[in-house]
């Protein structure tokens, strides 16, 4: 049975759910899609998806494995695909997760990052003002250096 998964108020297409179901079945594992931007993970341990807050550098809840056999593949800058085996992973498991991540990329929403970040406006190079910003009199700071 393929159930629903809603991301950004849109239902994930059936093709994407089939990729995830096949991955879960082939690896006999729990899986998760981690949304790094929104800091949450969509996790499927058994039959249903659930969402849970997940820090940028955290492993989604429920995907712990006593032997540390957890796989992660980056889908794009916003999404990661995780898998944790019910038993042990087969030797080709990492490649299977990578392939699934590439196949999921077209179905998961993300915004393009700009190629270059614009310079600060106002002609300033950025950075801090130094001692004056801290309320330290400039004359006092100069005496300390001499």
Domain segments of the chain as ranges = 6-107
- What pLDDT is recorded for position 3? 76
- What pLDDT is recorded for position 36? 93
Instruction: Output the pTM of the full model.
Output: 0.73
- What pLDDT is recorded for position 1? 46
Between CA 115 and CA 14 the distance in angstroms is 32
Q: For the chain, which ranges sit under pLDDT 50?
A: 1
- What pLDDT is recorded for position 68? 80
Q: Give the count of beta carbons closer than 10 Å to the beta carbon of residue 7.
A: 19
Q: 139 CB contacts (<8 Å, ≥6 apart)?
A: none
H-type helices in the chain, by residue range? Answer: 14-27, 93-104, 138-145
């Amino acid at each position: 049975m393929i159930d629903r998964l809603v991301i950004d108020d849109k239902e994930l297409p059936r093709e994407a759910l089939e990729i995830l179901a096949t991955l879960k079945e082939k690896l006999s594992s729990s899986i998760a899609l981690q949304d790094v931007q929104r800091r949450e993970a969509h996790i499927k341990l058994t039959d249903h998806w659930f969402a849970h807050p997940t820090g940028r550098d955290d492993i989604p809840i429920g995907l712990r494995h006593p032997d540390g056999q957890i796989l992660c593949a980056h889908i794009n800058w916003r999404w990661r695909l995780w898998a944790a085996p019910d038993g042990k992973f087969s030797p080709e498991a990492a490649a299977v997760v990578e392939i699934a991540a590439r196949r999921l990329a077209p179905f998961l929403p993300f915004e393009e990052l700009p190629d270059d970040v614009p310079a600060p406006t106002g002609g300033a190079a950025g950075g801090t003002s130094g001692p004056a910003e801290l309320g330290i009199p400039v004359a006092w700071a100069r005496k300390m250096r001499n």
